[in-house]
A and B are shown apart, each in its own frame.
Chain A
């Protein structure tokens, strides 16, 4: 705690989109309560602190660091180690830090194909000299170094020791507040717990009418206007709710969109993608091998669909390319 009795808080972003930062601001008027309770000592996206300010802190100086974003570059990893050292409690905040999330889908490719695509092949890129960023570039004045772009996206927990995990892309503000309250009251669960979420699945929170799951056909989102009352999976739309941890309040199904799985696997499930594949395929209404193969063949991109948020944290972590 700071001398004024406030919680010393740090917030950082690595490979992420910024949505987790917006989710913090979405605490709305409660952010004033956060400011009353906590002294923010590092938050690059919102406040003017520098990395050297963190480096100057004694080890364990921060009471809590909310770290969002995956580990994509050597700089991300460096900051993960630095903030681990400077924080008593390190929280993997949001899906990227927890399980890799959308940046983690890059693990279906390798570094070279990603760089080639982004800097040479994308139609809107103008790069006639074919310049690709290099870790070290000689210039007349000396050498310029930029962080190394890793071949594999990792989760925060795969590069350093993490105390708690907050799922969600982004975490829902009411859940963030619940976590803040838990921290302030000192009533935290055992180390390694997933906090700011529920112990059941999204289906448990979903108000839609469930009858029987017997799928003759899969639809992509643009191919169907779903009935707003009935279970989306029963209508042939792949909804990840049944293999996803609850806590969001079934936000997406409530607005007629299928759950995409951003809260990660439910308790006791290691591999969310495999669990979702298993559940979705088993309710296909086919009594012959040929029919089953035809119906599941309609799922266009199984790996990308089932592992949309969890590829780096999955059993296989990445594809072999």
Chain B
């Protein structure tokens, strides 16, 4: 009856590791779902928490943040340290806003891990598909009707 839900996923990935992995996955003809939109940034330490919030606010059903493996892989030596200091707080912040923790994935994928990238896109897409659309700003909690207790 109803059409299968196709989640919209935004992935913020660093230029040096995860983007290279995603690029290699494409060059290597690895199958990936078309649901993941990649936004390349120079470093995962450049990914401001506001980017993640804005992605959800503008319609993303899930968000991925991925950079180089700590401690040693970062092209800028410790940009990814900023990432692992911030992201645990972002996780908790999202939960307080009522966004399920399953909708946000952060981690590390090196340039040599194209297979890992392809797997992540599959697994994450299916996970979000099972959760259903987020529809930020369109839920019942935003209605202004007269439904007093």
Interface pair A320/B99, CB less than 8 Å apart: yes
Interface pair B144/A277, CB less than 8 Å apart: no
Query: Which of B71, B82, B141, B147 interacts with A318 by CB under 8 Å?
Result: B141
Query: Which of B53, B56, B142, B149 interacts with A112 by CB under 8 Å?
Result: B149
- Residue A193, interface by CB 8 Å: no
In the assembled complex, the Cα of A150 lies from the Cα of B146 at a distance in Å of 8
A interface residues, how many (CB within 8 angstroms): 47
In the assembled complex, the Cα of A110 lies from the Cα of B91 at a distance in Å of 22
- Residue A270, interface by CB 8 Å: yes
In the assembled complex, the Cα of A273 lies from the Cα of B48 at a distance in Å of 11
Contact residues of A between 259 and 317, Cβ < 8 Å to B: 270-271, 273-275, 277-278, 281-282, 284, 286-289, 292-293, 296-297, 299, 301-304, 306, 314-317
B interface residues, how many (CB within 8 angstroms): 35
- Residue B28, interface by CB 8 Å: no
- Residue B127, interface by CB 8 Å: no
Contacts of A278 in B (CB 8 A): 48-50, 86
- Residue A16, interface by CB 8 Å: no
Interface pair A149/B97, CB less than 8 Å apart: no
- Residue B75, interface by CB 8 Å: no
In the assembled complex, the Cα of A105 lies from the Cα of B93 at a distance in Å of 14
Interface pair A287/B97, CB less than 8 Å apart: no
In the assembled complex, the Cα of A316 lies from the Cα of B54 at a distance in Å of 8
Residue among B57, B90, B97 with the most chain A CB within 10 A?
Answer: B97
Residue among A116, A132, A284, A297 with the most chain B CB within 10 A?
Answer: A284
Contacts of B92 in A (CB 8 A): 302-303
0 or 1 for each of B123-149: is its CB under 8 Å from A? (1 = yes): 000000000000011010111101111
Question: Shortest Cβ distance from A300 into chain B, in angstroms?
Answer: 10
Question: Shortest Cβ distance from A265 into chain B, in angstroms?
Answer: 10
- Residue A68, interface by CB 8 Å: no
Interface pair B141/A302, CB less than 8 Å apart: no
Contacts of B29 in A (CB 8 A): none
Contacts of A108 in B (CB 8 A): 96
Interface pair A321/B141, CB less than 8 Å apart: yes
Residue among B56, B81, B88, B90 with the most chain A CB within 10 A?
Answer: B88
Interface pair B84/A315, CB less than 8 Å apart: no
- Residue A111, interface by CB 8 Å: yes
Interface pair A281/B141, CB less than 8 Å apart: no
- Residue B39, interface by CB 8 Å: no
0 or 1 for each of B55-90: is its CB under 8 Å from A? (1 = yes): 011000000000000110000000001101110111
Q: 7 closest A-B pairs (Cβ-Cβ)?
A: A320-B98, A303-B96, A274-B50, A274-B49, A281-B86, A315-B53, A293-B88
